[in-house]
């Protein structure tokens, strides 16, 4: 395969929201700068979550003000409600804004109530208001959580997910992300849903956001690639999951490890645009920031050697 893919590095938002200890702003900024130096063209930088509910992102504006901006690199911030979009607009007007905003829905009622404290209908009303507030000043990323299964309700109807994607498309979303929030997707279910969406929405980038809770994240990413997906969300070290204060599911709820997926794509001949040496340095910096070894297999074993590096 020679097709190019775009990997969005999510350590600083989806990764850190799971951490019980706050990471200093200065450390976050240094990590984000290391991500862009490694070649990431999309980076999830922070969240405009309520500071009291998710205090780890109370420094969102400061982080966005201090990161190094590079040509061709888009920084994304998550916005769970209209108040968050208003904060994003204030930062944009102050010259420190995000380039992209993630707008969230969940494919099940129970997860919506638990994670967003409203109903699905209520959240869609919020999303519609958020799109209007954004006023075309950001690239908008629609996110459908629990797209492959809900920890409270079980199997999610793919038709409902397709309807959510269609609704985001009608609202003008530039990309739509499918989140396998607790790692229940399988390669056949991934292949079927991504193929369906490619037929129904040609030209709409659909982002694969898999969690590796059950060890299937890499397999699911390859299935999405085979179905035509060229946009992936990952987190260095395989960290992340639900906010630390909102517990559901079990095991390691983290994202697919960036090092592992980037290493696999590189070995397959799929272009990521990433400098693997700088990616390895960023990986080590993430482990240092959290003070422990993380969950990347490549961080332990190294990237697959190229032919001229192999022993005879």
Residue 183 lies in a domain: yes
pLDDT at 69 over 80: yes
Residue 129 lies in a domain: yes
What single string gives the DSSP state of each residue in 236-272?
Answer: GGG---S-TTS--S-S--PBPBHHHHHHHHHHHT-B-
Q: What is the pLDDT of residues 173-229, one digit of tens each?
A: 999 999 999 999 999 999 999 999 999 999 999 999 999 999 999 999 999 999 999
User: 21 Cβ partners below 8 Å, 6+ apart?
Assistant: none
Asked if residue 199 belongs to a domain, the reply is yes
pLDDT band at 286 (very low <50, low <70, confident <90, very high): very high
CA distance 287 to 237: 7
CATH of the domain at 234: 3.20.20.70
Is 99 contained in some domain?
yes
Which residue range is the domain that position 209 belongs to? 6-309
Q: Model pTM?
A: 0.95
Is 1 within a domain?
no
The total number of structural domains that make up the chain: 1
């Amino acid at each position: 395969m020679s097709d190019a893919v775009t990997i969005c590095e999510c350590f600083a938002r989806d990764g850190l929201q799971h951490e019980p200890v706050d990471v200093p702003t200065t450390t976050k900024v240094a990590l984000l700068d290391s991500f862009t130096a490694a070649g990431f063209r999309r980076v999830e930088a922070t969240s405009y979550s309520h500071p009291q509910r998710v205090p780890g992102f109370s420094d969102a504006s400061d982080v966005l003000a201090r990161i190094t901006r590079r040509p061709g690199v888009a920084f994304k911030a998550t916005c769970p409600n209209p108040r968050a979009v208003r904060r994003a607009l204030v930062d944009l007007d102050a010259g420190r804004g995000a380039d992209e905003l993630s707008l969230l829905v969940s494919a099940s009622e129970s997860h919506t109530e638990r994670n967003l404290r409203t109903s699905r209908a209520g959240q869609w009303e919020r999303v519609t208001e958020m799109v209007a507030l954004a006023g075309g000043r950001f690239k908008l990323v629609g996110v459908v959580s629990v797209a492959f299964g809900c920890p409270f309700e079980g199997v999610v109807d793919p038709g409902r997910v397709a309807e959510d994607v269609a609704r985001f498309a009608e609202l003008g979303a530039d990309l739509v992300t499918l989140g396998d929030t607790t790692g229940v997707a399988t390669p056949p279910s991934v292949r079927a849903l991504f193929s369906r969406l490619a037929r129904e929405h040609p030209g709409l980038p659909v982002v694969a956001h898999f969690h590796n809770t059950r060890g299937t994240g890499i397999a699911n990413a390859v299935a999405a690639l085979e179905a035509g997906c060229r946009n992936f969300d990952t987190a260095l070290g395989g960290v992340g999951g639900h906010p630390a204060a909102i517990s559901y599911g079990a095991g390691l709820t983290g994202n697919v490890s960036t090092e592992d997926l980037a290493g696999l794509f590189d070995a397959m001949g799929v272009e990521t645009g990433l400098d693997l040496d700088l990616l390895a340095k960023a990986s080590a910096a993430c482990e240092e920031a959290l003070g422990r070894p993380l969950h990347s297999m490549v961080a332990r074993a190294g990237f697959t050697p190229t032919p001229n590096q192999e022993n005879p």
